[in-house]
Amino acid sequence: MYFILGALFVGIQLIIHSKLAKIDKAKIWPNCIMVLISNALIIFSIAWAYESIIEFESQAAIMGLVAFGGLGIIFAIIAYRIINKSEKTNKESLETNE
C-alpha cells in the first residue's frame, strides 16, 4: 500500500511540475513548496484513513481525512491562487509594456 502511495505522490509531483514548467512557473519556490505540502498532506490523509480502517477505528479514519485532507485541500487552493495570481500579473505587465 505504501509503495503505491509513494508512487502516486511522485507521479502527481512530476505531473504538476511539468505543467508548471510549461507556463514558466516551475522555478518559483512558493509554487513548488505549496504544491508539495498539499500533495503530501492529501497522500498522508489517505494513508491515515487506510491504517485506521484496518485497525477498525472508523472515527479516526474520518477525522484524519477531515483534518489532514482538509488542510491539504486548503494548501492546494492557496497554491492554485498563487500560481494564477502570478499569471495575471504577468499578463498585466505585458499589456502595459506594449
pLDDT single digits (tens) 38-65 = 998 999 999 999 999 999 988 999 999 9
Residue given cell 498522508 in the structure block: 44
Supply the pLDDT for residue 66.
Answer: 92
Say what the pTM is: 0.74
For 35, other C-beta atoms within 10 Å of its C-beta total: 24
Q: Could you give the CA distance from residue 9 to residue 17 in angstroms, rounded to a whole number?
A: 12
- Which of 41 and 89 is assigned the larger pLDDT? 41
- pLDDT band per the 50, 70, 90 thresholds, residue 35: confident
Structure confidence at residue 70 as a pLDDT band (50, 70, 90): very high
DSSP code of residue 1:
-
